[in-house]
Amino acid sequence: MTAETTNAGQAGLIVKCPPGMFAVSGGFETSSGASASISRPVGGIPPTGWKYDWNGINAGTYRVYVGCTK
């Protein structure tokens, strides 16, 4: 699963797993040069998504990934 934004004013994204699945890993990439300040599972135990916040809110594309399993 992937979430993406090009909103330079947004400082983070959460991507969720489909219903009935839970998060086991996450990832982040950007064309802006920003670095991740937070990378963690969200949604309880077991986690149902992944959150990334980044430093340096610059123009560019930001993508957050989550690896999900049953």
Report pLDDT for 60.
77
Per-residue pLDDT of the chain (70 residues; tens, 9 = 90+): 666 666 656 678 899 999 999 999 998 888 877 778 889 999 999 999 999 888 766 777 788 899 999 9
Tokens 């594309």 sit on residue:
61
Report pLDDT for 21.
97
Specify whether the CB–CB gap between 23 and 57 falls below 8 A: no
pTM of the model: 0.81
Write the Ramachandran bin of 48: left for phi over 0, alpha for psi from -120 to 50, otherwise beta: alpha
Report pLDDT for 6.
65
